[in-house]
Amino acid sequence: MLDGTRSVLSSVVNSQIELHARFGGVVPELASRAHIVAIEPVIREALERAGASIGDIAGFAATRGPGLTGSLLVALEAAKGAALALDRPLEGVHHLEGHLMAPFLGVAAGFDAPDWPFVALLVSGGHTSLVRCDAPGVYTELGRTLDDAAGEAFDKLSKQLGLGYPGGALIDRLAEGGDASRFALPRPLLKRVGHDFSFSGLKTATSLTMTRLGALTEVDVRDLAASFRAAVVDVLVARLLGAARHERIERVVVSGGVACNVLLRSRLLESCGAAGLGVSVPAASLCTDNAAMIGAAGYARLHGRVRSGGGFDAAGLDARSTWGLGELRPADG
């Protein structure tokens, strides 16, 4: 729950990690069933922690897409029910616009408060893209991954090493005690101009290194984790700085689950400082998926709609499994 000034009154995250861990990834049917079970208790807990009742809510926001339709529909229909019953507006939010808005709710220690315009690096389990953000709702995608998302690459390596799912945080922790210079892994696409990413070549090179090593010692695992993390972070930071330079924009935002990465954070502070760029990374709890960021994006849109006298059609709001950020309209339009 957010108050009118966008500060977070309560944020409840119901993780399905344990449910999906034994399958090594998200099982869509199980995900939507778990959403149905969780939705009401989560709403109740959010209200309770905020000391509010549902009638206090002036406007609702729910994720409209992109994502798994079965899961999206659960929260969207719950929000519709509440909005229609209470006669309040409902905003259907783009998941990635939520990630873009997350740093406006709070940045991690050492980072700058965000401001428009900025170039965003969105790095999660499902996305790796660079987006030029001129104003709320005015986005241009500059580049994206041609194959795996960065978080997915971490998750796959973790699975291969038998460490568990999701693997980003596990690899990150192991890498802290490893030697990143032991294995010379490739930095895919860095020599090519443009703003796209690719992680499949790095994945193959890492697999070949593992095969060459045979049975892995604990030190091998740490060194592999560190070398892999260094390669991913090198690519992410170089591409982000390249995009900011190309667009002549002096502020960058990095958001999504991978933005929790310890090496990525320290390298961002270092490189952006040297390049004279302002850099915003949300606090860790706002980097991974959360409802507060969806509320922040919904708040900006609700406000814009009220100001411009636009109407609301809560009942007609549908889920969108595929939806590009570039398709959005300005939030105040």
CB of 289 to Zn ion, least distance (A): 4
Q: How far apart are the C-alpha atoms of 66 and 46, rounded to whole Å?
A: 24
Closest distance of CB 22 from ligand KG4, Å: 16
Structure token pair of residue 93: 């939010």
Residues 268-297 that bind Zn ion (CB under 5 A): 289
Which of the listed partners (ligand KG4, Zn ion, none) does 169 bind, with a CB threshold of 5 to 8 Å by partner kind? ligand KG4
Distance CA 333, CA 319 (A): 21
Residue 135 exposure: Cα atoms within 13 Å on the Cβ side = 7
Q: Smallest gap, in angstroms, from Cβ of residue 55 to ligand KG4?
A: 31
CA–CA separation, 31 and 261 (whole Å): 26
| Residue selected from 11, 124, 209, 227 as contacting Zn ion according to rule CB under 5 A | 124
288 binds, among ligand KG4, Zn ion, none (CB under 5 to 8 A by kind): ligand KG4
**At 199, phi and psi to the nearest 5?**
-120, 0
**Number of C-beta neighbours around residue 18 at 10 A:** 7
The distance of closest approach from Cβ of residue 173 to ligand KG4 in the complex, given in angstroms and rounded to an integer, is 8
Residues within window 257-276 making contact with ligand KG4, judged by CB under 6 A: 257-258, 260-261
Q: What is the DSSP letter of 217?
A: P
Which of ligand KG4, Zn ion, none lies near 189, with the C-beta cut-off 5 to 8 A by kind?
none
- Based on its alpha-carbon atoms, the radius of gyration of the chain, rounded to whole angstroms, reads 20
* Segment 111 to 170, residues that bind ligand KG4, using CB under 6 A: 124-126, 151-152, 154-155, 166-169
- For residues 16 and 271, which CB has a smaller minimum distance to ligand KG4 in the complex? 16
DSSP for residue 255:
E
Q: How far is the CB of 236 from Zn ion (least distance, A)?
A: 16
Q: Provide the mask over 43-82, with x wherever binding to ligand KG4 is found by CB under 6 A and - wherever it is not.
A: ----------------------------------------
272 burial (CB, 10 Å; 0-12 / 13-18 / 19+) is: buried
Three-class DSSP category at 78: helix
Q: From 93, 35, 67, select the one nearest 296 (Cα to Cα).
A: 93
CB 293 to ligand KG4: min, Å: 10
Nearer to Zn ion (CB atom), residue 124 or residue 280:
124
Question: Cβ closer to Zn ion: 91 or 223?
Answer: 91
């900006």: which residue's tokens? 300
Binding-site size for ligand KG4 (CB under 6 A) equals 19
Q: Which is nearer to Zn ion, 155 or 289 (CB)?
A: 289
- Residue 291, φ and ψ in degrees, nearest 5: -80, -25
Rounded to the nearest whole angstrom, what is the least distance from the CB of residue 246 to ligand KG4 in the complex?
A: 25
CB of 94 or CB of 301, closer to Zn ion: 94
Task: Identify whether the C-beta of residue 234 lies closer than 8 Å to the C-beta of residue 187.
Answer: yes
**Gap between the Cα atoms of 232 and 228, Å rounded:** 6
Q: How far is the CB of 127 from Zn ion (least distance, A)?
A: 7
Residue 196 partner contact from Zn ion, ligand KG4, none using kind-dependent CB cut-offs of 5 to 8 Å: none
CA atoms within 13 A on the CB side of 105: 33
CB under 5 to 8 A by kind: which of ligand KG4, Zn ion, none does 89 bind? Answer: none
Tokens of 59: 């406007």
* Span 202-261, contacts to ligand KG4 by CB under 6 A: 256-258, 260-261
Compute how many other C-beta atoms are within 10 angstroms of the C-beta atom of residue 96.
Answer: 27
**Positions in the binding site for Zn ion (CB under 5 A):** 124, 289
**Positions in the binding site for ligand KG4 (CB under 6 A):** 124-126, 151-152, 154-155, 166-169, 172, 256-258, 260-261, 288-289
